[in-house]
Structure 1
Amino acid sequence: MERFQTVPFRADAHPVSSTSVRAGGVAVPGAVLGCAGVGLVAAVLWAQAAWSGTTAGTVLYSAVTGLAVVAAWGGAGRGSRRPVALCAAVAVTLSAVGDVLWQVQASLTGSGSGAGPADAVHLAGYAAVAVGLALLARTHTEDRDQRVAGWIDALVVFVAVLLVVWEVSIAATVEDGSLSVLTRTTLALYPAIDAALIGLVVRLLATRRQGERTSLVVAAGCACWVVSDIADLLHADAGSFGSLLDAGRVLGSVLLAVAAWPSASPAPAGARAPSSRVGLARLAVCLGALVVPPTTDLVVHAAGGAGDPVAILTGTVVLTVLVFLRAALLLRGEAAARAQLRARERRAATLARYSSDAALVVARDGRLLSDPAPVAAVLGTAPPAGRSAGEVVRLAGIDLEQAQRVLDRALAAPGTVVDAEVPARYRGEDRWLGVRLVDLGEDPDVGGVVVHVTDVTGRRRAEEALAHSVLHDTLTGLANRVLFADRVGQALLRTVRGGGSVAVVSLDVDGFQAVNDGLGHAAGDALLREVAARLRGAVRADDTVARLGGDEFAVLVEQSGDGDDEAVATAERVRAVLSRPVVLAGGPVGVSASVGVAVGRGAAGAESLIADADLALYSAKLEGRGRTVRFEPGMRAAARAARELEDELRGALGRGEFRLVYQPVVALADRRVTGFEALLRWDSPRLGAVGPDRFVPVAEAAGLMDEIGAWVLREACATAAAWRRDHPAAGGTSMAVNVSATQLRSCDLAGSVAAALADSGLPACALVLEVTETALVDDPERAAASLAELRALGVRLALDDFGTGYSSLAHLRQFTVDVLKIDRSFVGGIADGEPLPAIVRGTIDLGRTLGLEVLAEGVEHEHQARLLAEGCCDTAQGHLFARPLERTDAEALLLGRTGRRRRAAVPPPRGARSAARR
Structure 2
Amino acid sequence: MSWTLDGPSWTAGRSRLALRRAPALVIALVAALLVAEGVTYGTVTGTTLYFAVLGLAVVTAWAGVSRGGRRLPAVLVALGVTLTCAGDVIWQVQTSLTGSGADVGIADVAYLGSYVALVTALALMARTRQADRDQRASGWIDALVVFVAALLVVWELSIAATVQDPTLGGLDRVVLSLYPALDAALIGLVVRLLATRRHGERASLAVAVACACWLFSDVVYLLDVDADDLGSLLDAGWLLGSVLLAVAAWPGTSRTSPASDLRHPVSGLARLAVCLGALLVPPTTELVIDLTGGEDASGAVFTAMVTLTVLVFVRAALLVRGEAAARALVRSRERFAAKLSAHSSDAVVVVARDGRLLSDPAPLSALLGVPPADVATTADAVALSGVDPAMATALFTRALEAGGRVVDAELPARHRGEDRWIGARLVDLSGDPDVGGVVVHVTDVTGRRRAEEALAHSVLHDGLTGLANRALFTDRVGQALRRTVRGGGSVAVLSLDLDGFKAVNDSLGHAAGDALLREVATRLRAAVRADDTVARLGGDEFAVLVEQAGDGDDEALLTAARVLEVLARPVALSGGPVTVSASVGVAVGRGDVAGASLIGDADLALYAAKLGGRARVQRFEPGMRAAALAARELEQELRGAGARGEFRLAYQPVIGLADRRVTGFEALLRWDSPRLGPVTPDRFVPVAEAAGLMDEIGAWVLREACATAAAWRHRHPGAGRFSMAVNVSATQLTSPDLVGSIAAALAESGLPAGALVLEVTETALVGDPERAAACLAALRALGVRLALDDFGTGYSSLAHLRQFTVDVLKIDRSFVSAMAEGEPLPAIVRGTIDLGRTLGLEVLAEGVEHEHQARLLAEGRCDSAQGYLFARPLEACDAEALLLEEAAARGAMPAIVPLRSAPRALTRPA
Normalised to the residue count of structure 1, the TM-score between the two structures is 0.58
**Cα distance in 1 for residues equivalent to 2:462 and 2:160:** 104
Assess, with a 3 A threshold, how the Cα gap between structure 1 residues 250 and 556 changes in structure 2: closer, same or farther.
same
Retained in 1: the 8 A contact 2:197–2:264? no
Assess, with a 3 A threshold, how the Cα gap between structure 1 residues 266 and 244 changes in structure 2: closer, same or farther.
same
1:133 to 122, 128, 139: 122
| Structure 2 residue matching 1:558: 3-state secondary structure | strand
2:487 to 478, 498, 516: 498
Question: Counterpart in 1 of 2:243?
Answer: 254
The answer to whether structure 1 residue 333 and structure 2 residue 328 are counterparts is no
Assess, with a 3 A threshold, how the Cα gap between structure 1 residues 387 and 622 changes in structure 2: closer, same or farther.
same
The answer to whether structure 1 residue 204 and structure 2 residue 193 are counterparts is yes
Shift, 1:382, TM fit: 7.1
Assess, with a 3 A threshold, how the Cα gap between structure 1 residues 586 and 229 changes in structure 2: closer, same or farther.
same
Aligned residue type for 1:223: A
**Cα distance in 2 for residues equivalent to 1:315 and 1:279:** 23
Q: Deviations over 1:717-746 (max 9, x none)?
A: xxxxxxxxxxxxxxxxxxxxxxxxxxxxxx
Retained in 2: the 8 A contact 1:217–1:259? yes
Question: Counterpart in 1 of 2:740?
Answer: none
Q: Deviations over 1:44-89 (max 9, x none)?
A: 23542x3444444334323333333343334334433532222222
Shift, 1:115, TM fit: 3.3
Shift, 1:144, TM fit: 3.7
Question: Counterpart in 2 of 1:232?
Answer: 221
1:154 to 129, 136, 143: 143
Shift, 1:340, TM fit: 4.5
Assess, with a 3 A threshold, how the Cα gap between structure 1 residues 70 and 475 changes in structure 2: closer, same or farther.
closer
| Structure 2 residue matching 1:209: 3-state secondary structure | coil
| Structure 2 residue matching 1:141: 3-state secondary structure | coil
Retained in 1: the 8 A contact 2:33–2:49? no
**Cα distance in 1 for residues equivalent to 2:597 and 2:53:** 103
Normalised to the residue count of structure 2, the TM-score between the two structures is 0.59
Q: Which segment is superposed worse, 495-504 or 568-577?
A: 568-577
Assess, with a 3 A threshold, how the Cα gap between structure 1 residues 270 and 242 changes in structure 2: closer, same or farther.
farther
Assess, with a 3 A threshold, how the Cα gap between structure 1 residues 128 and 514 changes in structure 2: closer, same or farther.
closer
Question: Counterpart in 2 of 1:886?
Answer: none
Question: Counterpart in 2 of 1:741?
Answer: none
Q: Deviations over 1:455-511 (max 9, x none)?
A: 665555444444433432221111234433432332233233223343445555566
Retained in 2: the 8 A contact 1:594–1:620? yes
**Cα distance in 2 for residues equivalent to 1:26 and 1:447:** 54
Q: Deviations over 1:18-65 (max 9, x none)?
A: 99999xx997454465245335334423542x3444444334323333
The answer to whether structure 1 residue 324 and structure 2 residue 313 are counterparts is yes
Q: Which segment is superposed worse, 60-69 or 615-624?
A: 615-624
Aligned length: 634
- Structure 1 unmatched ranges of 5 or more: 1-12, 644-685, 688-751, 759-918
The answer to whether structure 1 residue 278 and structure 2 residue 285 are counterparts is no
**Cα distance in 1 for residues equivalent to 2:607 and 2:11:** 91
Assess, with a 3 A threshold, how the Cα gap between structure 1 residues 370 and 128 changes in structure 2: closer, same or farther.
farther
Question: Counterpart in 1 of 2:875?
Answer: none
Question: Counterpart in 2 of 1:121?
Answer: 110
Assess, with a 3 A threshold, how the Cα gap between structure 1 residues 373 and 39 changes in structure 2: closer, same or farther.
farther
Aligned residue type for 2:200: G
| Structure 1 residue matching 2:491: 3-state secondary structure | strand
Retained in 2: the 8 A contact 1:214–1:259? yes
Question: Counterpart in 1 of 2:619?
Answer: 631
Q: Which segment is superposed worse, 613-622 or 123-132?
A: 613-622
**Cα distance in 1 for residues equivalent to 2:360 and 2:104:** 74
**Cα distance in 2 for residues equivalent to 1:237 and 1:757:** 129
1:237-386 to 2 correspondences below 5 Å = 237-238=226-227, 242-263=231-252, 269-273=258-262, 275=264, 277-305=266-294, 307-342=296-331, 344-345=333-334
Q: Which segment is superposed worse, 178-187 or 360-369?
A: 360-369
**Cα distance in 2 for residues equivalent to 1:72 and 1:621:** 98
Shift, 1:512, TM fit: 4.6
Retained in 2: the 8 A contact 1:211–1:271? no
1:58 to 47, 55, 71: 47
The answer to whether structure 1 residue 523 and structure 2 residue 523 are counterparts is no
Aligned residue type for 1:533: T
Question: Counterpart in 1 of 2:60?
Answer: 71
1:216 to 193, 205, 210: 205
Aligned residue type for 1:124: G
Shift, 1:335, TM fit: 4.1
Retained in 1: the 8 A contact 2:407–2:426? yes
Q: Which segment is superposed worse, 331-340 or 92-101?
A: 331-340
Retained in 2: the 8 A contact 1:68–1:257? yes
Question: Counterpart in 1 of 2:27?
Answer: 37
Q: Deviations over 1:268-316 (max 9, x none)?
A: 8554555465322212222333333333333333433454444333323
Assess, with a 3 A threshold, how the Cα gap between structure 1 residues 612 and 451 changes in structure 2: closer, same or farther.
same
Aligned residue type for 2:125: L
1:398-413 to 2 correspondences below 5 Å = none
Q: Deviations over 1:87-124 (max 9, x none)?
A: 22222232233334434555566554643333343222
Assess, with a 3 A threshold, how the Cα gap between structure 1 residues 381 and 241 changes in structure 2: closer, same or farther.
same
The answer to whether structure 1 residue 468 and structure 2 residue 457 are counterparts is yes
Assess, with a 3 A threshold, how the Cα gap between structure 1 residues 224 and 451 changes in structure 2: closer, same or farther.
farther
Shift, 1:157, TM fit: 1.3
Q: Deviations over 1:798-857 (max 9, x none)?
A: xxxxxxxxxxxxxxxxxxxxxxxxxxxxxxxxxxxxxxxxxxxxxxxxxxxxxxxxxxxx
- Structure 2 unmatched ranges of 5 or more: 632-674, 677-816, 824-910
**Cα distance in 1 for residues equivalent to 2:341 and 2:358:** 18
**Cα distance in 2 for residues equivalent to 1:312 and 1:610:** 107
Which structure has the larger Rg?
A: 1
| Structure 2 residue matching 1:142: 3-state secondary structure | coil
Retained in 2: the 8 A contact 1:441–1:447? yes
Retained in 2: the 8 A contact 1:578–1:591? yes
Shift, 1:238, TM fit: 2.4
Assess, with a 3 A threshold, how the Cα gap between structure 1 residues 465 and 60 changes in structure 2: closer, same or farther.
same
Shift, 1:221, TM fit: 0.7
Assess, with a 3 A threshold, how the Cα gap between structure 1 residues 510 and 74 changes in structure 2: closer, same or farther.
closer
Assess, with a 3 A threshold, how the Cα gap between structure 1 residues 132 and 534 changes in structure 2: closer, same or farther.
same
Shift, 1:258, TM fit: 1.0
Shift, 1:376, TM fit: 6.9
Shift, 1:539, TM fit: 3.1
1:400-799 to 2 correspondences below 5 Å = 426-430=415-419, 460-505=449-494, 509=498, 512-562=501-551, 566-567=555-556, 569-571=558-560, 573-575=562-564, 577-590=566-579, 599-606=588-595, 610=599, 629=617, 631=619, 633=621, 636=624
| Structure 2 residue matching 1:293: 3-state secondary structure | helix
Question: Counterpart in 2 of 1:698?
Answer: none
**Cα distance in 2 for residues equivalent to 1:268 and 1:233:** 46
Shift, 1:191, TM fit: 2.6
**Cα distance in 1 for residues equivalent to 2:627 and 2:93:** 127
| Structure 2 residue matching 1:245: 3-state secondary structure | helix
2:182 to 186, 193, 203: 193
Shift, 1:203, TM fit: 0.8
